Amino acid sequence: MFDNLSEKLDKAFHVLKGHGQITEINVAETLKEIRRALLDADVNFKIAKEFTNTVKEKALGQNVLTSLQPGQLMVKLVKDELTELMGGEAEGIDLSGDPSVILMSGLQGSGKTTFSGKLANYLKNKKTKKPLLVACDVYRPAAIDQLHIVGDQIGVEVYSDRDNNDPVAIAKAGISHAKSTGCNVVIIDTAGRLAVDEQMMTEISNIHKAIEPQETLFVVDSMTGQDAVNTAKAFNDVLNFDGVVLTKLDGDTRGGAAISIKSVVDKPIKFIGTGEKMEAIDVFHPSRMADRILG
């Protein structure tokens, strides 16, 4: 995960970690390398620039030049700043409803269906939760099949209605079904497209307005970097979602989406997907991620 970024940041600190006199030039060079590493990770130019400016100010404020271990101090400053940029504290999801309704949004292929299954499984394992999965993709029969396969695999019921082509009606019927069968969490999987388009946005917005979910999660493929950030912005403008799910982190060597998405949409990353298996789900902890990135 984010191996390229970790390697480049490690190299950036190389000079400061060596012995001998540290000069302002060394610090400036390190900051330049950090900025370059962030840009290579597909972090937006403005965010990378602000990041290094903040680190620079803090480094000056803490007299990095005269400190005993300037390398370690810089690593700490970068780690703290990365944590802050990725959201500070971990944020959970709202499960206060009865049932709690969780709406999934995102493009096709982002990992929505897989994540819906992972989340259902994660909640089911908490014992106090009995989830229901609802299939609201009325365009691709294969998507309904896929959710049923996932449901069977984890032992969670899936509500679908292949004769109905109104996703709002299916979502509502799913929630009623949950109430009558004692399910206390409803996870609604929706249709995505390959790119943002008006019809998809209108549809997801209609579902959102009709069911008023406790949680609206935006699912996005981490490997798509700045595209992920732009897509997040488009969905957030329409849905004002509650949190982001970053999938496929296991294949992401760069990390740009994880680093910049929070500061662009001002919504926390709540979960990450780290593999295709149902168990490959984790709560996102900004500080742990920063620790991992900086080794």
Task: Please state the residue numbers annotated as binding site for GTP.
Answer: 106-113, 189-193, 247-250
- Beta carbon nearer to ligand GDP, 97 or 275: 275
Identify the helix (H) or strand (E) that includes residue 171.
helix 167-181
- Beta carbon nearer to ligand GDP, 33 or 221: 221
Chain-centroid distance, C-alpha 240: 15
- Beta carbon nearer to ligand GDP, 97 or 109: 109
CB neighbours (10 Å) of residue 220? 27
65's CB contacts (< 8 A; 6+ apart) are 22, 23, 24, 27
* Minimum distance, C-beta of residue 113 to ligand GDP, in the bound complex (Å): 3
Name the pairing type of β-strands 269-273 and 281-283. antiparallel
Identify the helix (H) or strand (E) that includes residue 260.
helix 256-265
Name the pairing type of β-strands 243-247 and 215-221. parallel
Task: Give the residues lining the site for ligand GDP (CB under 6 A).
Answer: 106, 108-114, 192, 247-248, 250-251, 273-276, 280
Residue at shortest CB range from ligand GDP: 273
- Beta carbon nearer to ligand GDP, 13 or 271: 271
Q: Which two tokens stand for residue 134?
A: 């609802």
* Minimum distance, C-beta of residue 284 to ligand GDP, in the bound complex (Å): 13
* Minimum distance, C-beta of residue 165 to ligand GDP, in the bound complex (Å): 19
- Beta carbon nearer to ligand GDP, 52 or 160: 160
φ, ψ for residue 218 (rounded to 5)?
Answer: -105, 120
* Minimum distance, C-beta of residue 218 to ligand GDP, in the bound complex (Å): 11
Chain-centroid distance, C-alpha 141: 27
Q: Which two tokens stand for residue 114?
A: 């897989």
Q: Which two tokens stand for residue 113?
A: 């269906």
- Beta carbon nearer to ligand GDP, 56 or 193: 193
Q: Which two tokens stand for residue 50?
A: 């602000």
DSSP code of 67? S
Distances (CA, A) of 274 to 43, 166, 175, 203, 242: 20, 33, 29, 29, 21
104's CB contacts (< 8 A; 6+ apart) are 112, 115, 116, 187, 188, 189, 190, 217, 219
* Minimum distance, C-beta of residue 195 to ligand GDP, in the bound complex (Å): 13
* Minimum distance, C-beta of residue 22 to ligand GDP, in the bound complex (Å): 41
